[in-house]
Every structure is written in structure tokens, then in C-alpha cells.
Amino acid sequence: MGAYLVRRFGLMLLTLFGISVIIFTLLRIVPGNIVDILFDSAGMVDPAEKQRIARELGLDLSLPQQYVAWISGILRGDLGYSYVSEKPALEEIAPRIPITAKLAVLALVFSVLIGVPLGVISAVRQNTLTDYALRVLSLSGLSLPSFWLGLLVLMAFVSWFDTLPIYSDRITGFWAQLALFSVPAAAVGFRSSALVMRLTRSSMLEVLRQDYIRTARAKGATRQSVNYRHALRNALLPVVTVIGIEAAFLIGGLIVTETVFNIPGVARFLVEAIRARDYPIVQNLVMLIAVVVVVVNFVVDMLYAVLDPRIKYGG
């Protein structure tokens, strides 16, 4: 187990290094840079002034030197300065992380609490009216874009309650913020719950056809025991994989939802930084998303051994 963890951490570091190189390279080959944007907006054409600003921003260095400076700064906890606001990048990013994290966690909780039970019900009641209704519901969830559903939710709130469930930093308190984030979380989590429900259903149907399930029934095990104690635990392995992928996707995939509901989160800030060619912000935000994806995949691998004792990570 120890040797596996060492190899796994080594692979994680190698993956993050490769991602960092790709992020850095892609940003530099995109046409235009922050100096050109600043001069175009101000109408300035003085080449000497332009070179001075580029030198202050470190853009006069070679690409390897810029990359080393960026990575070494991350290791020291120095993420650089935003080219647009001229504030430390960490001060710009840190307040937005909890906002996106709350929204992503709530959306993930919604998708799991709705998707897994409905998937089990659909599987154990296969080819019944309930099964058909749940399958239509899941197809609807996969078909409806989250931003369109969010707009419908906003229109419904205006029509029925004469209010808008958009973000406001004046709302404090646990229950008030829970109510505030639950609406956009449900809108974005509806699609994830549909995916989880369909996968849970197919995985449960496959497990329910296994010989040990027939043996458990022949021995007189109750229907509830067979479905939830024997079948569900073994059916959860592929579901956990998809939940992990969805958790990683939600961190960076909330751009439209945060825009629709006026949520000042990481995803919305990333788009604004990309438009402004704010390299330090973009690099660090994409690296943050990459770290989340890698860590989530590692946690999912560890959960396999918890859910299925037959899985062993040898040396």
C-alpha cells in the first residue's frame, strides 16, 4: 500500500507538471497580450513606455524564465500580481474559492441524493410505469442545458414570488446562504443527478442479474436486504467514478451558472481574466482546477478499496 501511494503521488506530481507546461504554453501562443490591450485601450503608441511596462510585468524575460518564475512563486505561496487590478493574485482568487466550493458541493450533494435513490428505484422496478417516468426525467435532465434551466428558474421566481434568487454578499448566516445557493445548485445539479441516476440504474440491473443475488434470494433474504446491502454496494463502483468526474467538472464548469445567478465565483472570474489576458490569474485558476481534478481522482481510487474489500493496492 505504501509503495502504491508513493507511485501515485509521483504520478500526480508528474501530471501537474505536464498540465502547468501546457497552461503556460497555450497562454503565450494566444494572439495579443496584456501590454497591447493596455496600450490599445489608452491610445498610447510610445514604444519606450510599452517596453517599460513589459519589463515591469516580466514579459521581457524568455519563456523558460517566465515559467520558472511562476512555478517557483507557487511553491513559495506567491502567485504574482494581477495585471488588471495590480493586486496580489492570491487576494483576488482566495475570496472566490469558498463561493464556488459551496455551489459545487451543494450541486454534487443534490445530484447524489437525487440520482442514486431514483436510479435504484428505477432498477428494482424495471419496465414499470415508475421506471419509464424516471427514465424520461433523466433524459430531460441530460437534454436541458443548465444555463437555460437557470433562466427558467429565474423567470419562475419572478412570476411566482416577485423576487430573484441571485447572489448578494449582504446575505449572511448558514441557513440564509444555504437557501441562496440551493437554487443555482439545483439548476446545475439537475443534469448531474440525471447522469448519476442512469448510471446507477444500469449498474444495479447488471448486479441484480448476478448469481450471488439469486443465491441471497433463495436463502430467504428480504427484498430490501438484497437491493441495498448486497446489490447497491457492488453497483456503486462505476457510480463513484462518475461522481468524482462530476465533482471535478463542477469546479470549472460553473461559468454560465455563476453568470446567470450573479455569483462572483472562480469560474466567472476565470472568463473575465481570459478576456483581459491576465496571465497570473488565468494560470493560477486553471492550475487550481487541475489540482482539484487530480486530488478528486486520487480520492476516488481510495474509495474503491473501501467499497470493495477485494480491491487491494499492492506494493
Residue pLDDT tens, the chain, 315 long: 677 778 888 888 898 889 888 888 887 777 666 666 666 655 555 677 667 767 766 777 778 888 888 888 888 888 888 877 878 888 888 888 888 888 888 888 888 899 889 998 998 888 899 989 999 888 888 887 777 777 787 788 778 877 766 666 666 777 777 777 888 888 888 888 888 899 889 988 888 888 888 887 787 777 777 777 777 877 888 888 888 878 777 766 677 777 777 788 888 888 888 877 777 888 888 888 888 888 888 888 777 777 666 666 655
Beta carbons of 138 and 194 less than 8 angstroms apart: yes
**Cα separation, 107 vs 248, whole angstroms:** 12
The pTM (predicted TM-score) of the whole model is 0.77
Give the cell for residue 164. 430573484
Instruction: Catalogue all structural domains in the chain, each as residue range(s) with its CATH number.
Output: 96-307 (1.10.3720.10)
Beta carbons of 240 and 305 less than 8 angstroms apart: no
**What Rg value do the Cα atoms of the chain yield, rounded?**
24
**Cα separation, 56 vs 120, whole angstroms:** 59
**Cα separation, 201 vs 213, whole angstroms:** 16
**Cα separation, 270 vs 285, whole angstroms:** 7
Beta carbons of 281 and 273 less than 8 angstroms apart: yes
Mention every residue, 6+ apart, whose C-beta is less than 8 A from residue 226. 213, 216, 217
The gap between the terminal CA atoms of the chain, to the nearest Å, is: 6
Beta carbons of 194 and 139 less than 8 angstroms apart: yes
